[in-house]
Amino acid sequence: MKEFLENLKNKTLNPEAVITPIHVEFDEEDIPVKRGEVLRYAGYPAAVLRTKGDGKNDESYIEVPTDEELASRLESVVGLCKGELTYRISYCFFQLNRDADGFPILPFEQHSKDLKKNLENCSAVIIVAATIGAGIDRLIRRYERTQVATGLLLQGIGAERVESLVDLFNDEVNSNAAEFGLKAHPRYSPGYGDLPISVQPHLLKLLDAEKRLGITLNASYMMSPSKSVTAIIGIEA
């Protein structure tokens, strides 16, 4: 990635270069569970959280709900996920050109005004797909019908996990970009604004996501594993 960004900065990119995806696997330990986020996804507002441990700098710091029963259920759900998830990402990057109307030219057709706006002034984009694997769906299936509260918390933790994974990658993009005096725009996903989710097949194909990440789409463009994310990150020189 650094090489690409450096070339982008020095304007020495080869526009003919074949776009090939890169795959990275992250370690669970590097992505601590944000319990407040899990609960927020599960419909429990952050205001009623309290903290355990001495404060944010404490290693053992976690946010827990004040309701003891819920707190213990949440911890058991965190435990259920241990070792069941994988943290994988596939990404690629390329130089960005624009058509006569100023729309960014991506390797697939789209005429999203919102995306155009998001990618304003960008000279390159990074396309990324991330997934925490099918394990979370297995767990959700296991619990959602017979222990619905656990199922709900699993949904919450799945959402938190995959978002944290993309965040981790995005942080890396941001800091790498900053190193070369470039600026990464906020990531943009299909389904945001007027960018339809029907572009998903193109994004996934570009990233070889079926083979590399095991992500497939159903007839309504929903991804399996369900806790997967695709996004476009613009880079401004």
- Does position 189 interact with other proteins (CB under 8 A)? The reply is no
Q: How far is CA 173 from the centre of its chain?
A: 12
CA distances from 86 to 53, 81, 128, 180, 189 (A): 28, 10, 16, 31, 21
- Does position 216 interact with other proteins (CB under 8 A)? The reply is yes
Q: Least distance to other proteins from the beta carbon of 218, Å?
A: 4
Instruction: Identify residues 110-169 at the interface with other proteins (CB under 8 A).
Output: 133-135, 137-138, 140-149, 151-153, 155
Q: Identify which range of 110-118, 161-169, 175-183, 201-209 contacts other proteins by CB under 8 A.
A: 201-209
Extract the tokens encoding 21: 């995806």
Q: How far is CA 107 from the centre of its chain?
A: 20
- Does position 202 interact with other proteins (CB under 8 A)? The reply is yes
- Does position 69 interact with other proteins (CB under 8 A)? The reply is yes
Q: Least distance to other proteins from the beta carbon of 108, Å?
A: 7
Q: Identify which range of 14-22, 162-170, 177-185, 227-235 contacts other proteins by CB under 8 A.
A: 14-22
Size of the site for other proteins (CB under 8 A): 68
Query: Quick one: three-class SS letters along 124-171?
Result: EEEEEEEECCCHHHHHHHHHHCCCHHHHHHHHHHHHHHHHHHHHHHHH
- Does position 51 interact with other proteins (CB under 8 A)? The reply is no
- Does position 107 interact with other proteins (CB under 8 A)? The reply is yes
Q: Least distance to other proteins from the beta carbon of 70, Å?
A: 6
- Does position 219 interact with other proteins (CB under 8 A)? The reply is yes
- Does position 43 interact with other proteins (CB under 8 A)? The reply is yes
83 in the Ramachandran plot: left (φ > 0), alpha (ψ -120 to 50) or beta? left
Which residues is 125 bridged to in the sheet? 94, 234
- Does position 53 interact with other proteins (CB under 8 A)? The reply is no
Strand order in the sheet with 87-95: 22-26, 87-95, 122-131, 228-236, 183-184
What distance in Å separates the CA atoms of residue 170 and residue 167, rounded to the nearest whole number?
Answer: 5
Q: Which CB, 72 or 120, lies closer to other proteins?
A: 72
Do 139 and 81 form a contact (C-beta atoms < 8 A)? yes
Q: Least distance to other proteins from the beta carbon of 95, Å?
A: 10
What distance in Å separates the CA atoms of residue 16 and residue 91, rounded to the nearest whole number?
Answer: 18
* Residues in touch with other proteins (CB under 8 A): 1, 3-4, 7, 13-14, 17-23, 25, 39, 42-45, 48, 50, 65-70, 73-74, 86, 93, 107-108, 133-135, 137-138, 140-149, 151-153, 155, 197, 202, 205-206, 210-211, 214, 216, 218-222, 224-226
